[in-house]
């Protein structure tokens, strides 16, 4: 057990219940398997974790408004940390907190949002901007880990004074179970996975896939993430047999049934579902607004700008559907954990 690299991880929801949450779950379990002492500070744990991970649940707060919930959580975290001895621990935050040595940026900066006229009087915007600056410039902050080069470049441009703190792109790993999935698809099924369907480009994906169905009625489209009633209006002119709206599903449960993933996201700091599809052997066609786009080569899939028309996207999908198997990116949680241990050791020396 390497006590020198013991780490405390801060996350509101601990468990594989979302993209960022799965990242923290998998990373902390990989660290524990490598002999590190791991403690979690969260509002609530959603699954039973390994016995050698110590989980501290602070209790849930009202989730909305989100900015107020984040302040309450941050204050609870600070109160707890100030009540214990943390001298031998590296504190790693995955939220907008105050006491950390390391922080991971899992999403876009608040400064990347679309500006509105009354932003300057919004307490929500002011709070998020304050929390973000504190996360980057706090007195204890040793390093900031962006989860892709895209996020790293954005942060360096938006906060040049923090550029020297930016560490390696902390690409998410992929669980081994995805490489072991058995294919049950028919060779003509396109999939979309994403609860935040507007940001992830479902409306555009619908247009692209509909143009393909008009050419080839064998093609089907499976959509998971949003509840069917949220998106039924996008399919009013579709043949009933050519689409399935599955609601929320685990990606490992749906990937065996599709042959290609389309992900035309407008804003996507990384895109874990793209990595999971790749590990399952599926080709992907994604937008250049995804952080993972920098890793996607021709033998893995296709990266296109959102300014490209539906015909361009449809042509790329037709080509990639004929690929029997995509090359694997080989993103592993164990390798990511080892990189984190190196960072933690430097934090301790500092």
Are 170 and 27 a contacting pair, CB within 8 Å? Answer: no
- So what's the pLDDT on residue 1? 44
At 98-130, the pLDDT tens digits run: 999 999 999 889 998 888 888 888 999 999 999
- So what's the pLDDT on residue 219? 97
C-alpha angle 309/312/313, rounded to 5°? 90
Tokens representing residue 324 in the block: 């029997």
- So what's the pLDDT on residue 349? 67
Q: Which residue, among 134, 117, 103, 92, has the nearest Cα to 8 in the 3D structure?
A: 92
Written as tens digits, the pLDDT of the chain (350 aa) is 444 579 999 999 999 888 889 999 999 999 999 999 999 999 999 999 999 999 999 999 888 898 999 999 999 999 999 999 999 999 999 999 999 999 999 988 999 888 888 888 899 999 999 999 999 999 999 999 999 999 999 999 999 999 999 999 999 999 889 999 998 998 999 999 999 999 999 999 999 999 999 999 999 999 999 999 999 999 999 999 999 999 999 899 999 999 999 999 998 989 999 999 999 999 999 999 999 999 999 999 999 999 999 999 999 999 999 876 789 999 999 999 999 999 999 887 66
CATH architecture of 3-173+332-349: 3-Layer(aba) Sandwich (3.40)
| 41 Cβ contact list (under 8 Å, min separation 6) | 8, 9, 10, 11, 56, 58, 77, 80, 81
Partners of residue 104 on adjacent β-strands: 145
C-alpha angle 337/147/252, rounded to 5°? 75
Round to whole Å and give the CA distance between 205 and 332: 29
Are 171 and 290 a contacting pair, CB within 8 Å? Answer: no
Round to whole Å and give the CA distance between 205 and 211: 10
- So what's the pLDDT on residue 324? 65
Crossing angle between the packed helical segments 310-321 and 202-215, to the nearest 10 degrees: 70
Look at the chain and count its residues: 350
Domain assignments of the chain as residue spans, ordered by start: 3-173+332-349, 177-321
The answer to whether the 3-173+332-349 and 177-321 domains have the same CATH topology is yes
Q: Convert 313-331 to b/e letters by CB count within 10 Å (16 or more is b).
A: bbbbbeebbebeebebbeb
| CATH, domain 177-321, list 3.40.50.2000, 3.20.190.10, 3.40.50.620, 1.20.140.10 | 3.40.50.2000
Q: DSSP labels for 96-149? A: S-SS-SEEEE-S--GGGSPP-TTGGG-HHHHHHHHHHHHHHH-TT--EEEESSH
The counts of H helices and E strands in the chain are 10, 14
- So what's the pLDDT on residue 320? 95
Answer positive or negative: Cα dihedral of 56, 92, 123, 114.
Answer: negative
């Amino acid at each position: 057990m390497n006590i020198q690299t013991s780490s405390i991880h801060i996350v509101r929801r601990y468990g594989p219940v979302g993209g960022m949450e799965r990242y923290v779950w998998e990373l902390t379990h990989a660290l524990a398997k490598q002999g590190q002492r791991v403690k979690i500070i969260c509002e609530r744990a959603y699954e039973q974790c390994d016995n050698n991970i110590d989980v501290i649940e602070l209790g849930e707060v009202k989730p909305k408004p989100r900015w107020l919930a984040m302040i309450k959580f941050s204050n609870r975290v600070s109160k707890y940390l100030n009540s214990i001895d943390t001298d031998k621990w590296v504190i790693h935050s995955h939220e907008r907190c105050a006491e950390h040595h390391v922080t991971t940026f899992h999403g876009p900066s608040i400064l990347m949002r679309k500006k509105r006229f009354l932003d300057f009087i919004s307490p929500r915007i002011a709070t998020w901007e304050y929390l973000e600056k504190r996360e980057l410039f706090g007195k204890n902050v040793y390093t900031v880990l962006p989860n892709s080069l895209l996020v790293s470049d954005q942060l360096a441009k938006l906060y040049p004074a923090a550029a020297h703190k930016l560490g390696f792109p902390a690409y998410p790993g992929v669980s081994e179970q995805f490489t072991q999935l058995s294919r049950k698809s028919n060779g003509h099924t396109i999939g979309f996975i994403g609860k935040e369907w507007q940001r992830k480009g479902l409306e555009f994906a619908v247009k692209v896939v509909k143009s393909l169905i008009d050419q080839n009625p064998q093609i089907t489209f499976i959509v998971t993430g949003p509840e069917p009633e949220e998106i039924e209006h996008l399919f009013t002119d579709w043949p009933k047999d050519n689409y399935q709206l599955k609601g929320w599903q685990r990606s490992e449960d749906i990937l065996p049934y599709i042959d290609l993933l389309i992900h035309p996201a407008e804003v996507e700091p990384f895109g874990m579902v793209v990595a999971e599809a790749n590990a399952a052997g599926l080709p992907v066609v994604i937008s250049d607004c995804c952080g993972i786009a920098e890793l996607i080569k021709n033998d893995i899939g296709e990266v296109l700008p959102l300014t490209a028309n539906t015909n361009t996207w449809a042509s790329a999908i037709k080509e990639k559907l004929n690929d029997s198997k995509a090359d694997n990116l080989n993103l592993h949680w164990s390798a990511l954990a080892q990189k984190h241990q190196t960072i933690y050791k430097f934090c301790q020396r500092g």
